[in-house]
A and B are shown apart, each in its own frame.
Chain A
Amino acid sequence: MAVLEAKKVSKFFGHFPALRDLTFAFKAGDCIALLGRNGAGKTTLLHLMAGLTRPTDGSLEIARRVSLLGHGIGVYDELSARENLQFFANLLPVKVDVEVWLEKVNLREVAGAPLREYSRGMRQRLALARTFMGEPELLLLDEPFTSLDDKATALLQSLLAEALARQATVVLSTHQIPEAMAHASRILFLERGKLRYFGPCPDEMLGDSTWIYRTYGAVS
């Protein structure tokens, strides 16, 4: 049973083709590394998967419970960490214990302070809690490893492992291939809006993370 299924999906911005004729399906428990150079269409594809924009052509069937960690961290500066998590928990169809998540991301002691007093790392940990709580079926993560310190990276890795263990589907859009390869079961490689590779992680990438760019990317 596919959690997400795309059939001949295209997306045009005016006359510019951001994505062309993409066909793929993700199953429960898949971890997909969404790779491609800048401007390849990764964020547009994530937005399509998130239901934030509609395809110009083709069809896209999406899971019911999706969570997104985009370029913005998706939390409110005027609220405290506890208020933020409680707000998003109240919108979920399942019951979530906010205190457990505050503990998990090590923010319980400062949970009452407004977010504007938090460091960048603390805000990112809160964003991780907001994204992973409520056991979403499909997790869409856009550059999740960018500017995380070692502790936050370890936290993200453990949350990813937990999510995959409960058969969630994870889509990781990233340029940091070694971190993504730790979990990725499949790779979806885009080049100028076209799907160049979709399949298991090639053995060649284990020792050479740029192999896919050289093999399936444009020469220039």
Chain B
Amino acid sequence: MLRMSWTIFLKDVRMEFRGKEALNASLAFALVVLILFSFAFDPTSEQIREITGGLLWILFAFSGVLLVNRSFVREQSNDCLDVLLVSKVPASSLLLGKTMANLVFILLVEAVCLPVFSVLYNISMFQLPLWLLGVCLLASWAIAILGTAFAAMTVNLRLRELMLPVMLYPMIIPALAAAMYLTNNIAAGKVPVGDDLIWVRLLVGFNVIFTTLSLGLIDTILVD
């Protein structure tokens, strides 16, 4: 199963880096929003510190949808999805490979946006680099796994660009809330300890539950 997931992952990464359609769109959207908000808020104010996590994770969730939306659309041209399913590639391998590829794309957008955010808003995001990396990995996986599963569900819908965010955002609220809280702490240079660790546990638990559910249900989603 993992070998097939790896093969799907490599293919998706290669195709995206060749065309860069989704990556360019997502990155451009994220940077434009960051720049626009930098005009709206005073970068020296304390208020901006309080909304750092919220701004960043809403931005990453929105730009992430632009990336995950392409996952199964990519398979639709020339009926490639049918060929994959017929060749007995387990649907769970397909989902896992595509989720890993989407995770890489989302992390790339974050890797570009975080330094830009630091400069524009005068907030150092890299005081606790390992914590930042951990939160980014966990929250991005939440967006990637649920986003990819919903992308599979909406791939045949005419209004899939609209339906995907409508279905996804309410579901990832717990993960985003945890990521926002932890990111605020990281931006303030505070290591999450004691009661704050419940947000880390929430992120881990969310990922375990929804990864298991998505991998278990994807076969039903893809084969009618």
Instruction: Choose the segment among A25-33, A60-68, A179-187 that binds chain B (4+ C-beta atoms closer than 8 Å).
Output: A60-68
Q: Do A76 and B80 touch (CB < 8 A)?
A: yes
The DSSP consensus for interface residues of chain B is: helix
| Residue A178, interface by CB 8 Å | no
Q: How far is the CA of A88 from the CA of B83 in the complex (A)?
A: 9
A75 with B80: CB separation less than 8 A: yes
**Chain B, Cβ-Cβ closest to A115:** B78
Which residues of the partner chain A approach B85 to less than 8 Å between Cβ atoms? 50-52
Question: Which A residue's beta carbon lies closest to that of B17?
Answer: A78
* B87 interface residue per 8 A CB criterion: yes
Residue B127 interfacial (CB < 8 Å): no
Q: Tell me, yes or no, whether A198 is within 8 Å of chain B by CB.
A: no
Interface 0/1 of B55-93, CB less than 8 Å to A = 000000000000000000010011110111111110000
Most buried by A among B11, B223, B224: B11
- Asked if B14 CB lies within 8 Å of chain A CBs, one says yes
Query: Contact: B87 with A92, CB < 8 Å?
Result: yes
Interface string of A53-92 (1 = CB under 8 A from B): 1100000000011111011111111110001000110111
- Within 8 Å by CB of A90, from B7, B77, B88, B224, lies B7
**Whole-angstrom distance between the alpha carbons of A51 and B78 in the complex?**
18
Cβ-defined contact, B7 with A54, below 8 A = no
Task: Determine if B7 and A91 form an interchain contact, defined as CB atoms under 8 angstroms apart.
Answer: yes
Q: How far is the CB of B28 from chain A (nearest CB, A)?
A: 20
In the complex, the answer to whether B7 meets A68 with C-beta atoms within 8 Å is no
Q: How far is the CA of A50 from the CA of B15 in the complex (A)?
A: 26
A125 beta carbon closer than 8 Å to chain B: no
Inter-chain CA distance A219–B19, complex, in Å, is: 52
Q: Are A68 and B83 in contact (CB under 8 A)?
A: yes
Known: A52-B86, A54-B223, A88-B83. A78 touches B78 (CB 8 A): no
Enumerate chain A residues within 8 angstroms of B87, measured Cβ to Cβ.
Answer: 66-67, 88, 91-92
Cα A179 to Cα B89 with chains together (Å): 32
Q: Is A130's beta carbon under 8 Å from chain B?
A: yes
Closest partner residue, chain B, to A138 (CB atom): B86
Total interface residues on A, CB under 8 Å, equals: 29
Task: Report A-chain residues with C-beta under 8 Å of the C-beta of B19.
Answer: 78
Q: How many residues of B contact A (CB 8 A)?
A: 23
Instruction: Give chain A residues whose Cβ lies under 8 Å from the Cβ of B128.
Output: none
Expressed in whole angstroms, the Cα–Cα distance for A71 and B82 within the complex equals: 10
In the complex where A53-B223, A53-B224, A91-B4 touch, is A79 in contact with B86 (Cβ < 8 A)?
no
Interface SS of chain A: helix, strand, loop or mixed? loop
Does the CB pair A71–B15 fall under 8 Å?
A: no
B8 to chain A, nearest CB (A): 8
In the bound complex, CA of A130 to CA of B84 (Å): 11
Q: Is the CB of B18 within 8 A of A50?
A: no
Cβ contact within 8 Å between A50 and B86: yes
Q: Are A52 and B223 in contact (CB under 8 A)?
A: yes
Known: A53-B223, A66-B88. A74 touches B83 (CB 8 A): yes
**Docked complex Cα distance between A56 and B84 (Å):** 23
CA distance in complex: A73, B77 (Å): 9
Residue ID in chain B nearest A127 by CB atoms: B78
Asked if A73 and B78 sit within 8 Å, CB to CB, the answer is yes
Task: State the B residues within 8 Å of A (CB).
Answer: 3-4, 7, 11, 14-15, 18-19, 74, 77-80, 82-89, 223-224
Given contacts A70-B79, A72-B80, 9 further A-B contacts (CB under 8 A): A65-B88, A67-B87, A68-B83, A70-B83, A72-B78, A74-B80, A77-B78, A79-B15, A79-B18
Can you report 29 residue pairs joining A to B where beta carbons are below 8 Å apart?
Answer: A50-B85, A51-B85, A51-B86, A52-B85, A52-B86, A52-B223, A54-B223, A54-B224, A66-B88, A68-B86, A70-B79, A73-B78, A74-B78, A74-B79, A74-B83, A75-B80, A76-B74, A76-B78, A77-B78, A78-B15, A78-B19, A79-B11, A79-B15, A88-B87, A91-B4, A91-B7, A92-B87, A114-B18, A130-B83
Query: Which A-B residue pairs are the 6 nearest by beta carbons?
Result: A72-B79, A74-B83, A72-B78, A68-B86, A78-B15, A90-B7
